[in-house]
Structure 1
Amino acid sequence: MLNDVAGLTLTAMLLPFAGALLAPVVTARLGAGAAWLLALAPLAAFVHFLRFVPEIANGEVVTGGYAWVPSLSLSFSWYLDGLSLTFALLITGIGTLIVLYAGGYLKGHPHHGRFFSFILMFMGAMLGVVVSDSFLMLFVFWELTSITSFLLIGFDHEREASRRAALQALVVTGGGGLLLLAGLFFIWNITGVTQLSLLLHSGELLRQSPFYAAALFLVLGGAFTKSAQFPFHFWLPNAMEAPTPVSAYLHSATMVKAGVYLLMRLNPVMGATPAWEILLPFFGGITLLVGASLAIRQTDLKLMLAYTTVASLGLLVLLTGFGSPYAVEAAVLYLVAHSLFKGALFMVAGIIDHEAGTRDVTRLGGLRAAMPLTFLSALFAAVSMAGLPPFFGFLAKEEIYAALAGPDPRAIVFTGVAIAGNALMFAIAFAVALKPFLGPKVATAKQAHEGPVLLWLGPLVLSILGLCAAIFSGPFHAAVSSPMASAVAGKPEAVTISLVPHLGLPLALSALTVIVGVAIYLGLARARALMVRLLDILGPGPDRGFDHFVAGLVRLSFAVTRFVQNGRLEVYVTFTFFLLALVLLVPPFVYGELPAMPAWPAELRFHEASFFVIALVGVAAVLAARDRLTAIVSLGIQGFAVAVLFLLFGAPDLSFTQFMVETLSVVILALVMTRIRLSPSDHRALPELLIDAPIAIAAGLGFALMLLKSTQVPFDTALTDFFNTYSKVIAHGANVVNVIIVDFRGTDTLGEIAVVMITGLAILALIRIRVVPVAPAQKTVAALKGEGKGKTKGPGQGHGKSQGKELSK
């Protein structure tokens, strides 16, 4: 039974899904005004999670849920600490603004209601990822984010580019999800726990395991694909084919940060190892430089911001794995700052596109007077992204340099990487925020003007929050930053940085970043041209490689399918029994699990030996039969002999079943063979015999070894005792076998009856096949055609022709 708090938390988690169900109906009735009503779902969830801030700030955690399959340690449970609570507040808070923004951005769209449904499902999936405690729940919601993002990215499904981007995102992130699942299985087997709250106390056990490296690589595969780390970064910019509300939400608070969340969550148990502190900074640093450099090349506002998101995700991964005293605090501050300024800037880019008709920065200018609120939002967000005071991005950048700067070569290299990446993002931030609004007015496709309140409310609120969080940094750190940093570090951490200048190396590095960033901004056109030439020299990148990979996979699949699905039943049967023989024979020989060979019975009675001989004679008759009908009857001889053996060894019910099956099999197969008039000859050529015979012998030997091994295992009477005890008491039946079949396994028996019934109907259809008479004139024409081709038919030839004309009455 869930208590009141747990029940409210479960309700808050389900609210976005409830909104998704209602969205099409509400939007059909209210139009764009439905956004105000639908935004109440994430807003209510935000208010609920906000209530936990004082409790989490005091170092406590909130857990809840219920056991689903206790025997397998599977549960539906959640875990709230500083990390998951901050993510939950970002997802629901920014999600509320995104729903309102989508109401204005897609006003009048014929599928507006469907979009609301998709975005709310996406919100619920991401919320489930960050509050999940059980591994199962985490994985289910993890994959649900991939599915819902596929729907959102491909929302404009009539455009090929949208379909390609959606499929690409699904393939990359879905494949990474499978890697994550394997990694979670490794962690489960190493630690024996299936909940994150318990895993946090198993760090030493996991790090000392010989399977730590395998678990780490699998987890990194899931995290890197989801958070677009090099070389999987290409799917994220392509996802800009989605409507701008999706881009703003995807980049600020949801899916792309899921991988970062996972790494932060596992840092206390998988961090502090050489592998962790080498792989994360290395790939994070490359991603930072690649993303920031590719952003310079772009002229589309959304693509410029998308590549800087790739860079920012790389910076977060670098900081999470760096391992220095301030690295965790820097990652926490930058994650929050990035969520605020990037969400605002994407919405600004959408407003410009919506009101001016273009996102090309080279075709924009002079919009400040026409769009003052949008310009203010863009300027505030850009200042934060550039790391300038008095915004929260400044605190994050100072903490980044405090974490990375040091005298050793490793610190020097990554500090240089951070300076280069931040300087490039500085230039992009002001290119997005200043170039469309300042300078002479440029004629655009639409007469630009300020958008409705639904459009400018979101970016204005987020940009102002970035200012307020920096000004009131003390209370903000106590409520958000410090609890989050403590959760990521796995120990109490206190974030104290404020707007008061701290003279030292971090401030000097920050000033150097500003100088380099201003220089890049002033020479942005030349920098863009340089990047274009450089990329032309380097040639196709991972995006084109993905296309080649998919095309090669399709060709390989076609070749494999053509080989194993060639339309010949005998090939299918041969492969099936070949694999069956491998499965039965390889494990006993490889792992030394061969059974002990049974001793020959001391007293073998004459009638028992007789039936063994009859069974062997039946097998010989099957092999010697010259047609299939004789083989079927001979097979029946063997089956009857086995049935008698069952009877002699005390299994009359099994013997009776065997008698019935053999009788019906012989009769039915004989009837079918007679009616469809198959070829009387069934002898295999020598090459076929050399293939089929070893496979048949191997499969038979495998079954024999398996049965022998099974009979030599100590017999467990628990199930037998249960049925003997309760058959009479519960089912009121004296025949234990009948009670098992009819009562304890009633559903299974019903399924078997259904299979028999379907099989009977199929046999009946075969028996009712009749040959359609061919008219004499038709025969003459057919004969003339045959003569015209110079072909004659000997006995038995052309049999397949008449087969093709057999129809059911």
Structure 2
Amino acid sequence: MAANAPALTFFALFLPFIAAVLAPVLTRLLGDRAAWVLALAPALAFAHFCTFLPEIAAGEVVTGGYAWAPSFNLSFSWFLDGLSLTFALLITGIGTLIVLYSGGYMKGHEGQGRFMAFILAFMGAMLGLVVSDSFLMLFVYWELTSITSFLLIGFDHEREAARRAALQALVITGGGGLCLLAGLVFLWNITGVTQLSLLVHLGDGLRQSPFYLATLLLVLAGAFTKSAQFPFHFWLPNAMEAPTPVSAYLHSATMVKAGVYLLMRLNPVMGQTPAWVILLPFFGGITLIAGTFLAVRQTDLKLMLAYTTMASLGLLVMLTGFGSAHAVEAAVLYLVAHSLFKGALFMVTGTVDHEAGSRDVTKLGGLRAAMPVTFGAALLAALSMGGLPLFFGFLAKEEIYAALAAGNPRAVFFTGLAVIGNALMFAIAFAVALKPFLGPDVETPKHAHEGPVTLWLGPVVLSVLGLAAALFSGVAHRYISSPMASAITAQKIVIDISTMPHLGVPLLLSVVTVILGALAFWRLTDLRAFMVRAVESLGPGPDRGFDHFVSGLVRLSGVVTRLVQPGRLEIYITATFILLAVTLLVPPFVFGELPAMPRWPEQLLVQEAAFFAIAVIGLVAVLRAKDRLTAIVSLGIQGFAVAVIFLLFGAPDLSFTQFMVETLSVVILALVMTRLRLSPRDHRPLGQSLFDGTIAVACGLGFTLLLLKSTEAPFDTLLTDFFNAYSKTVAHGANVVNVIIVDFRGTDTLGEIAVVMVTGLAVLALIRVRAGKKVADDKMETRR
């Protein structure tokens, strides 16, 4: 790496965030032309990451970063290999086209600047996630994608459906993020490392750990929620409430693949175990079939694509779970192909909706003449999604069947799932690409016409790339596919599949897939009606279950709040002191750590005995006081007696502090009591008094035992020697106690001052509230 590469990489990682900050201002100044300026940020980041292609293709890895908290082994660091670099190029490359597309799609919208800021911030979060080396950096960016996704899904916040979808996505992915955090903590404790670049070499130790299964389940919870795997799949289709640029970017090419990225990243250290090869294919296979079946049921173009995205993610998880070299190669090829054709088809759908005014496939037709460029892009993308020759999707499908096809029952089962899933995705692809454009003209809500260049540029580029990557597959494999597969398996893999069909089982299965897909496309209306009836017969699904879960959670929180927060200070204080007494008394008795009883001094000076007696008299006065004001003053007697005892035992500084605290406490409490007119004494039943007294005695006994036990230990003079040695030389103060409070413990003292200040403000507010109430009462009496 060049000497300045770390600085340039750091800058490239923050370019989207810088653009996000500038987006509202630039949009206000330049209007929709601001998109061309803002697109420079991801474009420059894309160009920077392209410079690493030769190095990564040669088998090298690129690491860098800066120490964040070295004492905790925390750093802001990145790790670029074939896997992370491919994701970085997809995020920045497709992101550039999405920013331009957003400029055309959101033209004239009053929130265009805000939208641009959100999508660029998400881009930065996703980019940081895939290049993160540090566990902490990975988690921070992981959660940041959830937050920015929430803002994008709920962009049209005036609609209840958008707000619900945003909240649902945040709850599910945020909950998964917490599970991931726990999984990362497990990884840290098991392996002792906090960097992914080091973790990939510690697979044997991790897989043999007794905590492996717990770690795997936590990681899978994070990955499955993020990548919409069954049973957490339902948030993804609902997220289509977001504007189409969001759907094209977050929920096809980037965010939903974050979970897949995590599984691929951890494959070398967590893969090839019975739990891995059972759980991933099982849940991935269910998600694949459920997604394709539910896609057939839809008539909304975005929902059709959303459910096939869910199915594609299931296919990727299934392939990653198999973990063989061919399966990994298939997952790599399909991931890249899916990002290209699905991003293009989503943008085509948005263009149709924007220019024709509808996304309902049953109400569209004959748009080919009005939108020829969009139709061409849709057709190319559908050919790749359908897995037809000369397109990158064909290479992926061939490799999928090469990886899965075998003679054992397990292989036959999952191969069957792949064939059915791919056939139905074939039907959906051509339903999206052909039905709106072919056939007789249909009257649409808007007069259909070709969109501006910003709307068709993205679909054209992505669909053509799907063709070019297959035609020049050698170049694509050398710089993208092979390094990515090598990173996932932690061993060198060379992918050489080309567009030239090869006779064999994979080609035969491809032909079967095309035939079944064509039949499904031909009978799509009947198939849709059948799926509608089938889904309705199953009753409420997990989406409705989520609503019940949230409703139940709200009710439960209400019950718990009423139980533990009844609004009575007396209950809070009682509970606090009971817990304190239990904490202080239980351990000494349970673990046999009671201190030895101290000896009574042989000779007790008269003045010492007198002040001990004064303290006791003050205590009796407090208990016998007829009103609260008298009790407060009597309470000060004990404090002053203790202060004099400190003075007698040679601690004048502590004694002075005690005098000040007691004086201020008495004065402030007396002031408050006077202003609040709380002079009458509380009359409590005997049982309540005994209960409170027992708690008080228990707390006092607990502190007594704790102090006695502490004084039994040998006195450690380490801190004393340190403060004596450095108080004058470092802090330039002769009074050691003052130096400790002001200099060595300055932050702690500042915190104590802040607590006192906040308490004073609360007291002042309380006095004013009661004073205001008194004035209002007086006015009411006057009116009467």
Map of 2:195 onto structure 1: 195
Relative to structure 1, the CA distance from residue 194 to residue 610 in structure 2 (aligned partners, 3 Å threshold; closer, same or farther) is farther
Q: How does 1:63-74 map to 2 (within 5 A)?
A: 63-74=63-74
Map of 1:807 onto structure 2: none
Q: Shift of residue 731 of structure 1?
A: 2.0
- Residue deviations 1:740-798, cap 9 Å, x none? 222333344344445445555666777897766988994895xxxxxxxxxxxxxxxxx
- Residue deviations 1:605-654, cap 9 Å, x none? 32466665655555455445454334334433433444345445554322
Q: Shift of residue 441 of structure 1?
A: 1.6
Instruction: Check conservation: 2:587, 2:593, Cα contact below 8 A.
Output: no
**Are residue 89 (structure 1) and residue 89 (structure 2) matched?**
yes
Q: Secondary structure at the match of 1:251?
A: coil
Map of 1:801 onto structure 2: none
How many pairs does the alignment contain?
778
Relative to structure 1, the CA distance from residue 599 to residue 9 in structure 2 (aligned partners, 3 Å threshold; closer, same or farther) is same
Map of 2:310 onto structure 1: 310
Map of 1:360 onto structure 2: 360
Map of 2:604 onto structure 1: 606
Relative to structure 1, the CA distance from residue 47 to residue 657 in structure 2 (aligned partners, 3 Å threshold; closer, same or farther) is same
Relative to structure 1, the CA distance from residue 605 to residue 613 in structure 2 (aligned partners, 3 Å threshold; closer, same or farther) is farther
Distance in structure 2 (CA, Å) of the matches to 1:406 and 1:712: 74
Distance in structure 1 (CA, Å) of the matches to 2:593 and 2:79: 49
Query: Which AA in structure 2 matches 1:86?
Result: T
Instruction: Check conservation: 1:595, 1:705, Cα contact below 8 A.
Output: no
Map of 1:597 onto structure 2: 595
Map of 2:421 onto structure 1: 421
Instruction: Check conservation: 2:595, 2:712, Cα contact below 8 A.
Output: no
Map of 1:288 onto structure 2: 288
Query: Which AA in structure 2 matches 1:117?
Result: A
Relative to structure 1, the CA distance from residue 473 to residue 443 in structure 2 (aligned partners, 3 Å threshold; closer, same or farther) is same
Query: Which AA in structure 2 matches 1:343?
Result: G
Query: Which AA in structure 2 matches 1:418?
Result: A
Q: Secondary structure at the match of 1:730?
A: coil
**Bigger CA drift: 12-21 or 568-577?**
568-577
Query: Which AA in structure 2 matches 1:65?
Result: G
Q: Shift of residue 659 of structure 1?
A: 2.8
Relative to structure 1, the CA distance from residue 763 to residue 239 in structure 2 (aligned partners, 3 Å threshold; closer, same or farther) is closer
Distance in structure 2 (CA, Å) of the matches to 1:13 and 1:588: 54
Map of 1:253 onto structure 2: 253
Distance in structure 1 (CA, Å) of the matches to 2:766 and 2:242: 53
- Residue deviations 1:535-592, cap 9 Å, x none? 11111111111111111111122222223332221122223333444555566677x4
Relative to structure 1, the CA distance from residue 410 to residue 622 in structure 2 (aligned partners, 3 Å threshold; closer, same or farther) is farther
Map of 2:741 onto structure 1: 741
Distance in structure 1 (CA, Å) of the matches to 2:96 and 2:89: 10
**Bigger CA drift: 328-337 or 366-375?**
366-375
Q: Shift of residue 411 of structure 1?
A: 1.7
Map of 2:562 onto structure 1: 562
Q: How does 1:455-470 map to 2 (within 5 A)?
A: 455-470=455-470
Relative to structure 1, the CA distance from residue 465 to residue 713 in structure 2 (aligned partners, 3 Å threshold; closer, same or farther) is farther
Q: How does 1:692-707 map to 2 (within 5 A)?
A: 692-707=692-707
- Residue deviations 1:146-190, cap 9 Å, x none? 111111111111111111111111111111111111111111122
Distance in structure 2 (CA, Å) of the matches to 1:489 and 1:773: 76
Distance in structure 2 (CA, Å) of the matches to 1:141 and 1:675: 52
Map of 1:731 onto structure 2: 731
Structure 2 residue runs of 5 or longer lacking an equivalent are: none
Map of 2:350 onto structure 1: 350
Relative to structure 1, the CA distance from residue 697 to residue 552 in structure 2 (aligned partners, 3 Å threshold; closer, same or farther) is farther
**Bigger CA drift: 637-646 or 461-470?**
637-646
Map of 1:497 onto structure 2: 497
Map of 2:222 onto structure 1: 222
- Residue deviations 1:351-380, cap 9 Å, x none? 111111111001111212222211111111
Relative to structure 1, the CA distance from residue 501 to residue 712 in structure 2 (aligned partners, 3 Å threshold; closer, same or farther) is farther
**Bigger CA drift: 557-566 or 166-175?**
557-566
Q: How does 1:5-44 map to 2 (within 5 A)?
A: 5-44=5-44
Q: Secondary structure at the match of 1:560?
A: helix
Distance in structure 2 (CA, Å) of the matches to 1:491 and 1:610: 83
**Are residue 531 (structure 1) and residue 528 (structure 2) matched?**
no
Q: Shift of residue 501 of structure 1?
A: 2.0
Q: Secondary structure at the match of 1:326?
A: helix
Distance in structure 1 (CA, Å) of the matches to 2:332 and 2:702: 58
Relative to structure 1, the CA distance from residue 326 to residue 754 in structure 2 (aligned partners, 3 Å threshold; closer, same or farther) is closer
Instruction: Check conservation: 2:616, 2:638, Cα contact below 8 A.
Output: yes
Q: Secondary structure at the match of 1:414?
A: helix
Distance in structure 2 (CA, Å) of the matches to 1:529 and 1:737: 83
Distance in structure 1 (CA, Å) of the matches to 2:138 and 2:779: 72
Relative to structure 1, the CA distance from residue 645 to residue 387 in structure 2 (aligned partners, 3 Å threshold; closer, same or farther) is farther
Instruction: Check conservation: 1:54, 1:479, Cα contact below 8 A.
Output: yes
Instruction: Check conservation: 1:282, 1:318, Cα contact below 8 A.
Output: yes
Distance in structure 1 (CA, Å) of the matches to 2:450 and 2:780: 83
Instruction: Check conservation: 1:626, 1:683, Cα contact below 8 A.
Output: no
Query: Which AA in structure 2 matches 1:115?
Result: F
Distance in structure 2 (CA, Å) of the matches to 1:716 and 1:741: 20
Q: How does 1:666-685 map to 2 (within 5 A)?
A: 666-678=666-678, 680-685=680-685
**Bigger CA drift: 342-351 or 766-775?**
766-775
Relative to structure 1, the CA distance from residue 650 to residue 502 in structure 2 (aligned partners, 3 Å threshold; closer, same or farther) is farther
Map of 1:264 onto structure 2: 264
Relative to structure 1, the CA distance from residue 775 to residue 745 in structure 2 (aligned partners, 3 Å threshold; closer, same or farther) is closer
TM-score normalised by the chain length of structure 2: 0.94
Q: Shift of residue 482 of structure 1?
A: 0.9
Query: Which AA in structure 1 matches 2:598?
Result: W
Q: Secondary structure at the match of 1:29?
A: helix
Q: Secondary structure at the match of 2:727?
A: helix
Distance in structure 2 (CA, Å) of the matches to 1:436 and 1:715: 85
Q: Secondary structure at the match of 1:498?
A: coil
Map of 1:804 onto structure 2: none
Q: Shift of residue 504 of structure 1?
A: 2.1
Relative to structure 1, the CA distance from residue 697 to residue 302 in structure 2 (aligned partners, 3 Å threshold; closer, same or farther) is farther
Distance in structure 1 (CA, Å) of the matches to 2:722 and 2:406: 70
Q: Secondary structure at the match of 2:680?
A: coil
Distance in structure 2 (CA, Å) of the matches to 1:412 and 1:278: 15
Q: Secondary structure at the match of 1:155?
A: coil
- Residue deviations 1:650-669, cap 9 Å, x none? 54322332232223323432
- Residue deviations 1:323-355, cap 9 Å, x none? 333111111111111101100000111111111
Instruction: Check conservation: 1:63, 1:77, Cα contact below 8 A.
Output: yes
Query: Which AA in structure 2 matches 1:685?
Result: P
Query: Which AA in structure 1 matches 2:138?
Result: L
Query: Which AA in structure 1 matches 2:482?
Result: S
Q: Secondary structure at the match of 1:230?
A: coil
**Bigger CA drift: 541-550 or 573-582?**
573-582
Q: Secondary structure at the match of 1:262?
A: helix
Structure 1 residue runs of 5 or longer lacking an equivalent are: 782-809
Query: Which AA in structure 1 matches 2:354?
Result: H
Distance in structure 1 (CA, Å) of the matches to 2:723 and 2:738: 11
Distance in structure 2 (CA, Å) of the matches to 1:434 and 1:60: 44
Query: Which AA in structure 1 matches 2:296?
Result: I
Q: Shift of residue 43 of structure 1?
A: 0.5
Map of 1:177 onto structure 2: 177
Query: Which AA in structure 2 matches 1:179?
Result: C
Relative to structure 1, the CA distance from residue 763 to residue 687 in structure 2 (aligned partners, 3 Å threshold; closer, same or farther) is same
Relative to structure 1, the CA distance from residue 775 to residue 369 in structure 2 (aligned partners, 3 Å threshold; closer, same or farther) is closer
Distance in structure 1 (CA, Å) of the matches to 2:233 and 2:466: 27
Distance in structure 2 (CA, Å) of the matches to 1:125 and 1:646: 58
Map of 2:167 onto structure 1: 167
TM-score normalised by the chain length of structure 1: 0.91
**Bigger CA drift: 450-459 or 120-129?**
450-459
Distance in structure 2 (CA, Å) of the matches to 1:448 and 1:78: 47
Q: Secondary structure at the match of 2:251?
A: helix
Distance in structure 1 (CA, Å) of the matches to 2:672 and 2:717: 44
Instruction: Check conservation: 1:375, 1:433, Cα contact below 8 A.
Output: yes
